[in-house]
Structures are given as C-alpha cells and as structure tokens.
Amino acid sequence: MKFIVTRIPVSPEKPHGLDYSLTLHGPAGERLVRFDNAHPVGRSKRGEPMDHSHRFHTAKRYAWTDAATLLTDFWQAVDAVLKERGVL
C-alpha cells in the first residue's frame, strides 16, 4: 500500500487542490489498484491530468466528490481485488 498526497494550488486540472496517488501493489510489486490524478487518460493520452482509477492495466475516469469518498472508493476497489485473488 502506498499513499502520496500533496496539497497544491487549485487549478482547472486539479480543482480540489490535491495531487494524489493511492496504490495497492501485489507481492511482486505489480500495481493492482491505483487512484490518482497525475496524468491524462484515454486513447490519446494527451491533455491535462485528471482524476482516474486503474485496475490492473485498465484506466478509467474517476468522478471526484471529496477526499472521504475517494478513500471509501479506493478501499472498496482494494477489497474487490483481494477477494478475486482469494486473499479475503
């Protein structure tokens, strides 16, 4: 588990004033779950950074509400992956 959160000035790209990455890694260091706003997502991979989540090798936009909801959504994704892998 790795959380990196930095308070930054509010901008159009990061209107909540946070630069964040919440990550669950597997035993070999592979990324299993990640919620972040560090880079663009989508086919072109161009444009401004946006909130999104990764599950294994797939990325999709994430609808930011607030920090508490972000944590809840992250832990739900972690639980789902751990259950799929037979850990929980």
pTM: 0.82
Per-residue pLDDT tens, the chain, 88 aa: give them: 999 999 999 987 788 899 899 999 999 999 999 999 866 555 545 555 677 888 877 888 888 889 999 999 999 999 999 999 888 7
pLDDT at position 42, please? 55
Tokens of 24: 């669950």
pLDDT at position 21, please? 93
74 φ, ψ (degrees, to nearest 5): -60, -50
18 in Cβ contact with 5 (< 8 Å): yes
Dihedral class, residue 56 (left if φ above 0, else alpha if ψ from -120 to 50, else beta) = left
